[in-house]
């Protein structure tokens, strides 16, 4: 037994038959109750009783707006008041004013108005006054009257809303939709009623022990709805409080398992305790059981800890002395054999370079970075950490602290520094100076204020802040910088780690290629280098990954991935995507082959860019991503193409003029009979080897 009954779901011990001519009603069938008082029947055959606890009050009209009939029933529930917390009074119609009147001995009235001009006004699922309205049912409502009237002329809405109706139903039962304006969507409605032992409060009932209904291990509470009282089992008990021995003790040790130690069930409660040798209250949500350590154990433990500290201290002291000795040796070797003297000698061989590169002291850079404080870190990568520094003249710079180098790498590092010091390109981050006084080589670059390209593509709630034109310009500027490194520098430079995080942006979104830590110089008599594979997964050239042969076409492949990022807004490698979509280069190639290119393009790019122009850039990215390096264009050709695209829609300089766009889009499909140049199809098997790449299992790294 409880405080409320759902008429079509819960069993009844007492059946009250009420007759009424309502349009709709709920039905109740008596079910078997296991807690019935001994000697009392709980079923009357298969008889079904009807109760007027759910109702539908209608007010219908003809096409001219005249009322055809009204239904104003009332209901009297002497024992079971409508639950005010579990029911709603609901009115439906586009010209419906429903009133709920009456409450035990008062003239209380409430209601709601529902108005709309057409079905287009109605919002499915919303019952806030447009076609549907609802209010709460008042307390003590066991005698009330419901009426429905028209507020305006009903003729202009008669065609789709011939009737207005109102009803009381269990909260959550009715979900309003447009179709409900034509006719009710149900024939029965459930209503929840509260019940209690009537006409007495707990204080009055307790005075007569003969008629008082609450049995042992129970408590009495006055009914909140209606007149009477109810019985409930005490905390720690469960069952039927109206039957003798109906409230039985709950074994919390079994049902709740509240103890971390030993649990003892008591009448109405439980007790937790710890085993011998442990202390605490033994509760899971309290002081758990912990071992009790005696005096002798504490002494032994103290001696052991002291001995361990002495041992660790001695080892630390020895390790510190050894590290300081190694550090002094490294500094001496660096200065004497490969440091400042070698740098100055090599710089002197290149006129003008000494003036363009400043040599900083260790103290200057420590002061500029607040001793390399964590708050000054701008980023970290495979070659070192980049800090934000402020020089005495208030110039803001980026200071790269490289990882430890072998002495054999010093000359190579200095030679690389010499080349970088001579680079003068507006789209390459400018090298300002260096420091060789420390174990860690330090490089000082100009500070670029607007973050990385990756930040603007990926880290803004997945909505890019870059327009299509800005993306195209950034791609062109990056390609121009790489073309300069490959063909116009005094010695060819292969960047080897082109990715969106290594492309910095100024306030006006001008691109700056950065992070030359993995770069390599290519002698004039060489076209490729055999190196240990290094780069970032997702951007690595598959041919370089398999052969360790680094060529200028490796940078072309990495740039193709960046171009795909600009087009799609997707990361080069992401485990948040499906397995077939994790690697962007494979996903991009698959989309083109399946003629699904526009499905993966960034929505902003689609909205702002010309589709033919987008396809041209996608074609260029596909060519850059070809598995064989010899099938890819050079960075100079890529830069020229992007420069042309930024001016006018043009065709690739290396494409046969008779090759139309539809054939170009078949990059990964069947072989085109007209495009026999660099755009020949990859379906012949050239791209199949990409499936033999090392699986990409991490997002980035070197």
CA–CA separation, 617 vs 482, rounded Å? 18
Closest by CA to 17, choosing from 44, 37, 35, is: 44
Compute the residue count for the chain: 702
Tell me, what's the pLDDT at 300? 80
pLDDT at 186: 87
pLDDT reported for residue 272: 93
pLDDT at 312 over 70: yes
Helix, strand, or coil here: 637?
Answer: helix
**Mean pLDDT, to the nearest integer, of 264-271?**
92
**Per-residue model confidence (pLDDT) at position 674:** 30
What residues are annotated to the active site?
A: 497
Q: Is the pLDDT of residue 526 over 50?
A: yes
Q: Are 66 and 82 members of one domain?
A: yes
Domain termination residue (choose one: 211, 226, 249):
249
- pLDDT reported for residue 25: 29
Is 19 in the same domain as 114?
yes
Long-range CB pairs of 196-200, under 8 A, 24+ apart, other chains included: 196/3, 196/223, 196/226, 196/227, 196/228, 196/229, 196/230, 197/228, 197/229, 197/230, 197/231, 198/78, 198/79, 198/226, 198/227, 198/228, 199/227, 199/228, 200/228, 200/229
pLDDT band of 30, cuts 50, 70, 90: very low
Tokens, residue 272: 């937790």
Q: In CATH, what number is assigned to the domain containing residue 377?
A: 3.30.200.20
**CATH number of the structural domain spanning residue 679:** 1.10.510.10
Share of the chain above pLDDT 70, in %: 71
Q: Is the pLDDT of residue 242 over 50?
A: yes
Q: Tell me how many domains the chain contains.
A: 4
Q: Which of 75-84, 341-350, 359-368 has the weakest average pLDDT?
A: 341-350
Is residue 71 a contact partner of residue 212, using CB atoms and an 8 Å limit?
Answer: no
User: In this structure, are residues 389 and 377 in contact, taking their beta carbons and an 8 Å threshold?
Assistant: no
Do residues 277 and 254 touch, judged by C-beta distance below 8 A? no
Same domain (yes/no): 108, 221 = no
More confident residue, 112 or 526: 112
Rounded CA-CA distance 322/684 in Å is: 61
Specify whether the CB–CB gap between 564 and 625 falls below 8 A.
Answer: yes
The residue that leads in pLDDT, 9 or 198, is 198
Let me know whether 24 and 156 are in one domain.
yes
Residues 132 and 180: beta-carbon distance below 8 Å: yes
First CA to last CA distance, the chain: 69
Both tokens of 453, joined, read 């390209």
Question: Which residue blocks in 423-531 are alpha helix, DSSP H?
Answer: 453-458, 468-483
pLDDT band at 21 (very low <50, low <70, confident <90, very high): very low
What value does the mean pLDDT take over residues 90-107?
Answer: 84
Residues 472-491 pLDDT 10s: 999 999 999 999 999 988 78
pLDDT at residue 155 tops 60 = yes
Q: Is the pLDDT of residue 244 over 50?
A: yes
Q: Please state the rounded mean pLDDT for residues 490-504.
A: 88
Q: Would you say residue 420 has pLDDT above 70?
A: yes
Give the tokens for residue 700: 């980035």
Residue range 323-352, pLDDT digits in tens:
787 667 556 645 644 455 556 655 555 554
Domain for residue 309, yes or no?
no
Structural domain boundaries, residue 406:
351-446
What span, in angstroms and rounded, lies between the C-alpha atoms of 42 and 581? 63
Please compute the mean of the pLDDT values over residues 71-75 and round it to a whole number: 58
- 56 and 21 within one domain: yes
- In the listed set 396, 412, 446, which residue is the last one of a domain according to the structure? 446
Residue of 626, 514, 620 lying closest to 567 (CA atoms): 620
Q: Rounded to an integer, what distance in angstroms lies between the CA atom of residue 559 and that of residue 476?
A: 11
Residue 359 CA, chain-centre distance (Å), reads: 47
pLDDT in tens, 574-623: 888 888 889 999 999 999 988 899 999 999 899 888 888 899 999 999 99
Q: Are 657 and 494 in contact (CB under 8 A)?
A: no
Q: Is residue 319 part of a domain?
A: no
Which whole number is the average pLDDT over 212-235? Answer: 91
- How far is residue 431's CA from residue 420's CA, in Å, rounded to a whole number? 7
Tell me whether residue 182 is in a domain: yes
**466: nearest Cα among 566, 559, 561:** 566
Helix, strand, or coil (residue 252): helix
State whether 173 and 209 are in the same domain. no
Asked whether residue 300 is assigned to any structural domain, the reply reads no
380: enclosing H helix or E strand: strand 377-380
Element (H, E) at 414: helix 410-422
**Residue 410 — very low, low, confident or very high, per pLDDT cuts 50/70/90?**
low
516-530 average pLDDT score: 71
pLDDT, residue 55, reads: 47
| pLDDT over 90, % of the chain | 34
Tell me the C-alpha distance between 91 and 116, whole Å.
13
Q: Is residue 276 part of a domain?
A: no
Whose CA is closest to 387, among 370, 412, 403?
370
The least confident of 222-226, 254-258, 695-699 is 695-699
* Torsion (CA) 164, 167, 173, 178 in degrees, nearest 10: 0
Q: What is the pLDDT of residues 630-658, one digit of tens each?
A: 999 999 999 999 999 888 644 444 333 33
261 domain-assigned:
no
Q: Which residues contact 249 (CB under 8 A, 6 or more apart)?
A: 217, 236, 237, 265, 267, 268
Q: Are residues 630 and 660 in the same domain?
A: yes
Is residue 202 in some structural domain?
A: yes
Strands 396-402 and 442-446 come out as antiparallel
Residue-by-residue DSSP string for 594-624: TT-HHHHS-HHHHHHS-HHHHHHHHHHHHHH
Verify that 398 and 380 share a domain, yes or no: yes
Considering 58-62, 249-253, 273-277, 306-310, the range whose residues carry the highest mean pLDDT is 249-253
Q: What is the mean pLDDT of residues 68-87?
A: 71
Q: Are residues 685 and 641 in the same domain?
A: yes
The pLDDT assigned to 265 comes to 93
Query: Does residue 436 register a pLDDT over 80?
Result: no
Find the helix packing angle between 611-624 and 468-483, rounded to 10°. Answer: 30
Confidence of residue 270 (pLDDT cuts 50, 70, 90): very high
* Average pLDDT across the chain, whole number: 77
Q: Give the CATH number for residue 229.
A: 2.10.25
Task: Compute the average pLDDT of residues 127-133.
Answer: 93
User: 218 and 135, same structural domain?
Assistant: no
**Does residue 235 or residue 335 have the better pLDDT?**
235
Compare 640 and 296 and report the one with higher pLDDT. 640
- Provide the pLDDT for residue 40: 57
**Alpha carbon separation from 199 to 79, 140, 204, 254 (Å, rounded):** 9, 13, 9, 40
Are 122 and 185 within one domain?
Answer: yes
457 shares a domain with 434: no
Residue 137 lies in a domain: yes
* Final residue of a structural domain among 398, 415, 446: 446
Q: pTM to 2 decimals?
A: 0.47
User: Is residue 683 scored above 80 in pLDDT?
Assistant: no
**8-state DSSP, 338:** I
């Amino acid at each position: 037994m409880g405080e409320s009954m759902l008429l079509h779901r819960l069993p009844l011990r007492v059946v009250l038959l009420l007759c009424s001519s309502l349009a709709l009603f709920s039905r109740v069938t008596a079910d078997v109750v296991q807690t019935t008082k001994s000697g009392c029947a709980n079923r009357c055959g298969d008889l079904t009783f009807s109760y007027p606890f759910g109702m539908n009050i209608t007010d219908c009209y003809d096409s001219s707006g005249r009322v055809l009939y009204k239904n104003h029933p009332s209901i009297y529930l002497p024992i079971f008041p409508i639950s005010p917390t579990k029911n709603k009074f609901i009115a439906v119609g586009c010209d419906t004013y429903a009133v709920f009147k009456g409450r035990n001995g008062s003239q209380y009235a409430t209601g709601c108005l529902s108005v709309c001009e057409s079905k287009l006004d109605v919002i499915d699922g919303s019952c806030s006054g447009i076609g549907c309205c609802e209010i709460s049912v008042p307390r003590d409502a066991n005698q009330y009257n419901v009426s429905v009237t028209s507020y305006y002329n009903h003729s202009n809405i008669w065609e789709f809303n011939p009737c207005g109706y109102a009803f009381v139903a269990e909260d959550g039962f009715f979900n309003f939709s447009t179709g409900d304006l034509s006719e009710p969507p149900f024939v029965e409605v459930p209503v929840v009623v509260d019940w209690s032992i009537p006409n007495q409060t707990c204080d009055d009932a307790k005075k007569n022990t003969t008629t008082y209904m609450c049995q042992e291990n129970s408590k009495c509470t006055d009914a909140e709805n209606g007149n009477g009282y109810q019985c409930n089992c005490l905390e720690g008990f469960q069952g039927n409080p109206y039957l003798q021995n109906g409230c039985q003790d709950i074994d919390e040790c079994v049902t709740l398992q509240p103890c971390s130690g030993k649990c003892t069930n008591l009448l109405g409660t439980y007790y937790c305790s710890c085993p011998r040798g442990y202390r605490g209250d033994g509760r899971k949500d309290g002081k758990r059981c912990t071992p009790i350590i005696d005096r002798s154990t504490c002494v032994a433990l103290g001696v052991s800890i002291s001995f361990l500290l002495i041992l660790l201290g001695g080892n630390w002291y020895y390790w510190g002395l050894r590290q300081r000795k190694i550090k002094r040796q490294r500094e001496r070797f660096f200065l004497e054999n490969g440091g400042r003297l070698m740098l100055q000698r090599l710089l002197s061989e290149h006129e003008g370079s000494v003036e363009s590169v400043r040599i900083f002291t260790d103290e200057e850079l420590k002061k500029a970075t607040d001793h390399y404080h964590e708050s000054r870190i701008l980023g970290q990568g495979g070659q070192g950490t980049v800090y934000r520094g402020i020089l005495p003249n208030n110039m803001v710079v980026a200071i790269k602290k490289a990882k430890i180098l072998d002495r054999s790498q010093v000359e190579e590092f200095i030679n690389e520094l010499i080349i970088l010091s001579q680079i003068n390109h507006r789209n390459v981050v400018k090298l300002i100076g260096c420091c060789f006084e420390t174990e860690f080589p330090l490089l000082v670059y100009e500070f670029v204020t607007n973050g990385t390209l990756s930040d603007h593509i990926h880290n803004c709630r997945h909505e890019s802040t870059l327009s299509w034109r800005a993306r195209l310009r950034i791609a062109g500027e990056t390609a121009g910088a790489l073309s300069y490194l490959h063909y116009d520098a005094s010695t060819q430079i292969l960047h080897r780690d082109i990715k969106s995080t290594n492309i910095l942006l100024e306030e006006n979104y001008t691109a700056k290629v950065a992070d030359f830590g993995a770069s390599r110089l290519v002698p004039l008599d060489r076209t490729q280098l055999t190196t240990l594979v290094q780069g970032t997964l997702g951007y690595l050239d598959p041919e370089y990954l398999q052969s360790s042969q680094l060529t200028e076409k490796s940078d072309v492949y990495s740039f193709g991935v960046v171009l795909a990022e600009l087009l799609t807004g997707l990361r080069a490698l992401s485990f948040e995507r499906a397995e077939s979509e994790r690697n962007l280069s494979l996903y991009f190639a698959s989309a083109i082959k399946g003629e699904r290119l526009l499905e993966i393009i960034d929505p902003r790019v689609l909205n702002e860019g010309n589709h033919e122009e987008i396809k041209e850039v996608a074609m260029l990215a596909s060519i850059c991503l070809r598995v064989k390096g010899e099938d890819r264009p050079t960075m100079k050709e890529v830069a020229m193409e992007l420069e042309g695209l930024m001016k006018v829609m043009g065709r690739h300089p290396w494409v046969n003029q008779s090759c139309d766009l539809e054939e170009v889009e078949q990059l990964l499909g069947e072989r085109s009979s007209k495009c026999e140049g660099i755009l020949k199809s990859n379906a012949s098997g050239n791209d199949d080897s990409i499936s033999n790449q090392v699986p990409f299992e991490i997002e980035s790294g070197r």
